[in-house]
Structures are given as C-alpha cells and as structure tokens.
C-alpha cells in the first residue's frame, strides 16, 4: 500500500446548522506537539495553545486574557470534578472521559454517547478530504448514515458522578 500525504491537510466542514468546523491534520511538520484546540463563537474565542481566551464585552478589546481565571465560571462540571484524574490519560485528558462515558453506558445498558453512526460520519472525513483534494478543493457531501434520524436522536446524559 502506498500513501501520498502532504505536510498539512486542512478540511473545512459546514454542518447542517451552518456552523463551520476546521480540521487540520499535521503529523509531519517539525514543531512541538499540539492538538491545536480552538473554539470560537459569536461572542468569544478560546485557544488551548497559549491558554488564552477572549470574551466580547468581558475581556479587554482586541486582547487575549489568561483562560485560567475563567475556569471557575465556565469550565465543564466533569473537568472540575475529575480533571486531576484525567491528567495523563491521553489527548489532554479526553481519553479518560471518553472511556468512562463508554463504560458507564455499558453498565447502565444505554446507548453510548458516540455510536456507529457517529463513527461512520467521522471516518468519512478522510476519504471525503481526499476526494476534495483530487477535485481541486471541491466541496463534498457527507452521507447521512442515519437517513435523517439524527434530528430525532435523544441526547445521552453522560454527565454522571459515578466515574
């Protein structure tokens, strides 16, 4: 099998609700390790690299603020309670929560927070990115593996104190 890969692949995804997701795959560049987490909305922006945040109207205009002072107010309850346990678990601690959510769903005999449909959609990103590259960056449609049922899907309440 022969792989062909550039240094950096950037995929831009538009969701059904119109949000934009940008995924950058960069395994070959000479740089320090980074997951490059960034969450941006209408009123703010958080970046893990640099531990910085900007919240419109609450931080200095056009300046970054140290995100740590905002954690008490905005950090997720699971991170507040189990953050120390998650350290060192892989991927910045995320693996701890993903594995525990799966274990809890199995113990309670309920659907896991990520199912086969999620896995299929997430796995489709790589071949769709390849198809886009082969077609000079043309947009590609992600198949709806649920046949429209994702709209009716009930959220799994995986925020538990049982970990």
Residue 25 lies in a domain: no
Residue 106 lies in a domain: yes
Q: Are 55 and 44 spatial neighbours (Cβ–Cβ below 8 Å)?
A: yes
Triad 75, 19, 133: Cα angle to 5° = 115
Domain that holds residue 131: 76-163
Residue 121 lies in a domain: yes
How far apart, in whole angstroms, are the C-alpha atoms of residue 43 and residue 13? 21
Q: What's the total number of domains in the chain?
A: 1
Residue 109 lies in a domain: yes
Residue 92 lies in a domain: yes
How far apart, in whole angstroms, are the C-alpha atoms of residue 41 and residue 17? 14
- pTM surpassing 0.75? no
Residue 50 has pLDDT above 70, yes or no: yes
Residue 93 has pLDDT above 70, yes or no: yes
Residue 159 has pLDDT above 70, yes or no: no
């Amino acid at each position: 099998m022969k792989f062909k890969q550039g240094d950096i692949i950037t995929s831009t995804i538009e969701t059904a609700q119109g949000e934009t997701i940008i995924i950058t795959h960069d395994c070959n560049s000479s740089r320090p390790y980074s997951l490059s987490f960034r969450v941006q909305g209408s009123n703010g922006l958080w970046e893990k690299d640099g531990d910085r945040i900007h919240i419109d109207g609450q931080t200095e205009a056009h300046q970054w603020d140290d995100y740590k002072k905002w954690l008490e107010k905005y950090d997720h309850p699971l991170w507040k309670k189990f953050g120390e346990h998650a350290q060192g678990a892989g991927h910045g601690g995320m693996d701890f929560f993903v594995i525990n959510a799966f274990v809890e769903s199995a113990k309670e005999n309920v659907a896991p927070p990520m199912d086969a449909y999620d896995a299929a959609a997430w796995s489709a990103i790589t071949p769709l990115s390849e198809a886009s590259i082969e077609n000079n960056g043309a947009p590609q449609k992600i198949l709806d593996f649920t046949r429209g049922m994702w709209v009716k899907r009930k959220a799994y309440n995986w925020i538990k104190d049982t970990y």
